[in-house]
Chain A
Amino acid sequence: EDQVTQSPEALRLQEGESSSLNCSYTVSGLRGLFWYRQDPGKGPEFLFTLYSAGEEKEKERLKATLTKKESFLHITAPKPEDSATYLCAVQTGTASKLTFGTGTRLQVTL
Chain B
Amino acid sequence: GAGVSQSPSNKVTEKGKDVELRCDPISGHTALYWYRQSLGQGLEFLIYFQGNSAPDKSGLPSDRFSAERTGGSVSTLTIQRTQQEDSAVYLCASSGSGKYQETQYFGPGTRLLVL
A contact residues vs B (CB 8 Å cutoff): 4, 31-32, 34, 36, 41-46, 49, 51, 87, 89, 91, 93-103
Contact between chains at B43 and A87 (CB < 8 Å):
yes
A98: which B residues are within 8 A, CB to CB? 33, 35, 43, 45, 104
Contact between chains at A100 and B33 (CB < 8 Å):
no
Q: Given A43-B4, A91-B100, check contact A97 B42 (CB 8 Å).
A: no
The listed residue (B31, B33, B42) touching A87 by CB distance below 8 A is: B42
A34: which B residues are within 8 A, CB to CB? 103-104
Contact between chains at B45 and A51 (CB < 8 Å):
no
Contact between chains at B105 and A103 (CB < 8 Å):
no
A41: which B residues are within 8 A, CB to CB? 108
The CB with the most chain B CB atoms within 10 A, among A34, A42, A43, A49, is that of A43
Residues of B within 8 Å of A, CB-based: how many? 30
B100: which A residues are within 8 A, CB to CB? 31-32, 91, 93-96
Contact between chains at B41 and A43 (CB < 8 Å):
no
Contact between chains at B103 and A97 (CB < 8 Å):
no
B25: which A residues are within 8 A, CB to CB? none
Nearest CB in chain A to that of B107: its residue: A43
B43: which A residues are within 8 A, CB to CB? 44, 87, 89, 98, 100
**Which residues from 63 to 103 on chain B have a C-beta closer than 8 Å to any C-beta of chain A?**
91, 93, 95, 98-103
Q: Is residue B8 contacting chain A, with contact meaning CB distance below 8 A?
A: no
Bound Cα distance from A82 to B58, whole angstroms: 35
Q: Is residue B59 contacting chain A, with contact meaning CB distance below 8 A?
A: yes
Q: Is residue B20 contacting chain A, with contact meaning CB distance below 8 A?
A: no
